[in-house]
Structure formats: C-alpha cells, structure tokens
C-alpha cells in the first residue's frame, strides 16, 4: 500500500471517483486516499454518504450539495493549506460531467498540487446490474456518452439526433426529465419504436436501485410508473437483450481458429 503522506510534500487535492453508488465500487487507490485524508468534500446529492465511512477519525467531512463553485474551490484551497491530503469525492468518474476543469483552474492559480483517481461510471454500472453489454461483435463496437440539451447547451453537431443516427450504443446522462425528447430524437432518425431501452436509477445503490426495461414507445410511461425522475442512466443500444438471442457472433479473440501473440490457431 502506498503511503500518500510520504509522497506529498505539501497539501494536495485528490479528485476521487466514488463510483456509481455502492461504497465497495470505489477503487483500491481511492480507498487508500480516503483512509489518509485530513479533509473530504463529498457531493452529497449524488455520492452515497457511506463512502465517507472510510475516512480516518478526526477527518473533516463536508457536504457540497448546497455550495457554489467558488465556495467549493475556496474550501479545497483552505483545507489544502492545513492538511497533507484533501479529497474531493465525486460521483462516478471525475472526468465525466464532473466540472473537473472548473475546479482545478483555481487550484493551479493557487499553486496547489492535485491529481485525479478515476472511478466506475454509472454507465458501466447500469449495464452491469442489468446484465447487458455495451458492445457486441458485428452489432456495435461504439459507445457514445452524451446527454440531452437542457439548460446546458450542446456544442454544434452534438445534438442527440446527430449522434443517434449512427445507431450505436448511447448512454445518456442527466436526461431522464427529457425522456420525451429522447424518444422523439431516436424516432426522427429511424430507430424503430419497438427498439429496446434500458433505464437504471441509482445503479448499485443498496436498496435504492431501480431497473426499468422497455421500448422507445413505452419507456417514458414505465419510468413514470416507477416515479423515476432523477439520478438515472438511459441506455439505447442494439445490444440490449443479447443474452437471450438464439445466435450471436463470437469474439475473434477467443476463436480457436484465430491466431494472436499469446496463442496459435488450431489448424484442425
């Protein structure tokens, strides 16, 4: 185990991906950092508070859900002046919709060292808990992480219709309240109304997870019935339900007739 107190010469901020919800899905490195933290700022509206149980006795723990960006960065800078290890504990992975750059720019200006420890995304967790794969040979080899345009505008060319036209796997973050717009966008570019859709709320959260399966046509009504209106991942993919297909194309990597650097092909 690395002793991060020996690594850091002065206060350092660690942006740690807490994962999708289950406290046990944090990475080993993230866990070790939490165990040595002097101060932890966690996103209480999104991160399970159970994750902070890894903190040592006497650690300052604060919830950021009511804080502005300026307040968050000021808190991190202040704590870094007092503690060797300060943790910003974020949901999923800090690099996905985590406002990472907005927070590190003030740290750079204050000459405070920082690093990122990646985490398990809710996209991966949602597929996992539902027993689905995001890619499948000869079906799709591409996954798009995106969101519907809401109060945050989308860059030119990244509207859902432009992305959905490829008919690859789509993982839609922060879009559950715009499900009607999702339906419309997919149908507009030729997805069949009977195409499968998966919605997972709070993937991996103990006793709070909800999994809803439906089609483009009925998924909104099904989510309404389950009262799902926040913290949900929407997955639209031609791979959904593949475990029940009578036939699939197998990966070449494990094909007996396929040679790679670790195994020669069976020439029978």
- pLDDT tens digits for 150-201? 888 999 999 999 999 999 999 999 999 999 999 999 999 999 999 999 999 9
What's residue 8's pLDDT?
41
Tell me which of 223 and 44 has the higher pLDDT: 223
- Please state, in angstroms and rounded to a whole number, the distance separating the CA atoms of residues 154 and 145: 13
Please report which residue ranges of 23-174 form alpha helices under DSSP H: 28-35, 69-80, 100-109, 122-129, 160-164
For residue 82, the tally of other CB atoms under 10 A from its CB is 11
Q: Is the pLDDT of residue 141 over 60?
A: yes
- Please state, in angstroms and rounded to a whole number, the distance separating the CA atoms of residues 242 and 132: 7
For residue 266, the tally of other CB atoms under 10 A from its CB is 10
What's residue 261's pLDDT?
63
Closest CA to 92 of 26, 28, 172: 26
Q: Is the pLDDT of residue 98 over 80?
A: yes
Q: What is the mean pLDDT of the chain?
A: 91
Domains of the chain as residue ranges with CATH: 4-120 (3.40.1010.10), 123-242 (3.30.950.10)
What's residue 7's pLDDT?
40
**Helix or strand (DSSP H, E) at 259:** none
Per-residue pLDDT tens over the stretch 24-73: 999 999 999 999 999 999 988 777 777 788 999 999 999 999 999 999 99
- Please state, in angstroms and rounded to a whole number, the distance separating the CA atoms of residues 176 and 118: 24
């Amino acid at each position: 185990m690395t002793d991060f107190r020996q690594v850091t010469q002065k206060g350092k901020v660690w942006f740690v991906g807490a994962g999708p919800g289950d406290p046990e899905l944090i990475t080993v490195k993230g866990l070790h950092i939490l165990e040595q933290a002097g101060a932890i700022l966690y996103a209480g509206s999104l991160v399970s508070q159970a994750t902070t149980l890894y903190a040592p006795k006497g650690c300052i723990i604060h919830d950021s859900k009511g804080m502005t960006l300026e307040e968050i960065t000021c808190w991190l800078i202040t704590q870094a002046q007092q503690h060797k290890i300060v943790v910003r504990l974020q949901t999923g992975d800090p690099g996905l919709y985590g406002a990472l750059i907005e927070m590190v720019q003030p740290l750079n200006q204050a000459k405070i060292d920082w690093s990122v420890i990646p985490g398990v995304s809710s996209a991966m967790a949602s597929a996992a808990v539902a027993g689905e794969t995001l890619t499948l040979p000869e079906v799709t080899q591409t996954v798009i992480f995106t969101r519907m345009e809401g109060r945050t505008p989308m860059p030119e060319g990244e509207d859902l219709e432009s992305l959905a036209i490829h008919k690859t796997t789509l993982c839609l973050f922060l879009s559950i309240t715009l499900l009607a717009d999702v339906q419309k966008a997919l149908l507009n570019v030729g997805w069949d109304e009977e195409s499968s859709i998966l919605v997972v709320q709070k993937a991996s959260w103990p006793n709070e997870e909800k999994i809803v399966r439906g089609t483009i046509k009925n998924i909104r009504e099904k989510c309404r019935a389950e009262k799902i209106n926040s913290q949900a991942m929407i997955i639209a993919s031609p791979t959904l339900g593949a475990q029940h297909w009578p036939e699939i194309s197998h990966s070449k990597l494990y094909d007996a007739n396929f040679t790679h650097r670790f195994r020669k092909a069976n020439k029978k």
